[in-house]
Amino acid sequence: MTESPPPLRRDAERNRQLLLRTAYDLMATDGLAVTYEEIARAAGTGLGTVYRRFPQRQDLLDALFATHIDAVVAFAEEAAQQDDALAALARFLERQLELEAASRGLGELLRGQKQSSALVRDAGERMTPLIADLVARAVHAGQLPAGVTPGDFAAAHLMVGSVMDASRTFAPHLWRRALAVALAGLQHADLPGVAPDETVIDHLYHDQTR
């Protein structure tokens, strides 16, 4: 028979989840520049509580990114069950970008390379095999040309995301057209250069020189 955790631990986890939800909501509108003071005020907690749960700002960003990873992995798992591989890949990318469209902070986090390398590796280990299988199926079915890799889809994700970030305030749906252009390019373009491998994905999402 296991003992229940003491109330303080339960309270601490509730506070942590409250702070994460509050930080996410504030950053969705105002971006990553939101301060700990603003988070504490919006959550109705003391500033010390924020620092106890997230002593370094990177701790907070990593926790937010870990939650995002869980959501996107779920998207990838659902996509992997679909019969039409190309349609599944397109919908997977679209669902990722819809999350980012709803949160300025998430876009800044992903394209500002502020995630820890450990989290990037975790995301890759969980998602890349699923996406690689979909890409292979799409190539086998003649929906994509030979040589397209998951790295090409990662590059497309970041390119479309950059359009989203640049147009968020004046053309918030422009990214959908950019996504259509990117997907058409992957289907029909004569792709030059060496096909990107999994190490390229790591570099795209995390600055390995820091």
Assign 130 a pLDDT band (cuts: 50, 70, 90). Answer: very high
Instruction: Please tell me the least confidently modeled range out of 31-35, 92-96, 109-113, 173-177.
Output: 109-113
Q: Is residue 92 part of a domain?
A: yes
CA distance 210 to 202: 13
CA distance 156 to 152: 6
C-beta of residue 163 within 8 angstroms of C-beta of residue 116: no
CATH code of the domain in which 45 resides: 1.10.10.60
Do 84 and 33 sit in the same domain of this protein? no
Do 95 and 1 sit in the same domain of this protein? no
Predicted local distance difference test score (pLDDT) of residue 54: 94
CA distance 162 to 30: 17
Assign 203 a pLDDT band (cuts: 50, 70, 90). Answer: confident
C-beta of residue 22 within 8 angstroms of C-beta of residue 63: no
Q: Is residue 154 part of a domain?
A: yes
CA-angle at 73, arms to 19 and 65, nearest 5°: 30
DSSP, res 12: H
Do 113 and 41 sit in the same domain of this protein? no
Do 90 and 159 sit in the same domain of this protein? yes
CA distance 169 to 142: 38
Instruction: Please tell me the least confidently modeled range out of 55-59, 131-135, 176-180, 201-205.
Output: 201-205
Q: Is residue 210 part of a domain?
A: no
Do 110 and 185 sit in the same domain of this protein? yes
Neighbour tally for 120: CB within 10 Å:
20
CA distance 125 to 63: 18
CATH code of the domain in which 156 resides: 1.10.357
| pLDDT of 177 over the 50 cut | yes
Percent of the chain with pLDDT over 70: 91
Assign 5 a pLDDT band (cuts: 50, 70, 90). Answer: very low
Per-residue model confidence as pLDDT tens digits over 48-92: 999 999 999 989 998 988 888 889 999 999 999 999 999 999 999
Shortest CA distance to 155 belongs to which of 191, 116, 125, 115?
191
Assign 2 a pLDDT band (cuts: 50, 70, 90). Answer: very low
Per-residue model confidence as pLDDT tens digits over 141-158: 999 999 999 999 999 999
Higher pLDDT, 81 or 6: 81
Residue 42 burial (C-beta neighbours within 10 Å; 0-12, 13-18, 19+): middle
Mean pLDDT value across residues 94-113: 88
Q: Is residue 116 part of a domain?
A: yes
Residue at a domain's end among 55, 82, 97:
55
Do 41 and 128 sit in the same domain of this protein? no
Do 172 and 151 sit in the same domain of this protein? yes
Predicted local distance difference test score (pLDDT) of residue 207: 57
- Per the structure, the complete domain to which residue 33 belongs is given by 1-55
Do 181 and 77 sit in the same domain of this protein? yes
Q: Is residue 42 part of a domain?
A: yes
Do 34 and 120 sit in the same domain of this protein? no
Predicted local distance difference test score (pLDDT) of residue 191: 86
Predicted local distance difference test score (pLDDT) of residue 1: 44
Q: What mean pLDDT, rounded, does the chain reach?
A: 88
Mean pLDDT value across residues 180-206: 84
Q: At what angle do helices 85-101 and 174-188 cross, to 10 degrees?
A: 150
Do 111 and 197 sit in the same domain of this protein? yes
DSSP, res 102: T
DSSP assignment of 115-127, as one string?
S-HHHHHHHHHHH
CA distance 190 to 54: 47
Assign 209 a pLDDT band (cuts: 50, 70, 90). Answer: very low
Do 85 and 184 sit in the same domain of this protein? yes
Q: Is residue 77 part of a domain?
A: yes
**How many domains does one find in the chain?**
2
Do 155 and 179 sit in the same domain of this protein? yes
CA distance 107 to 175: 12
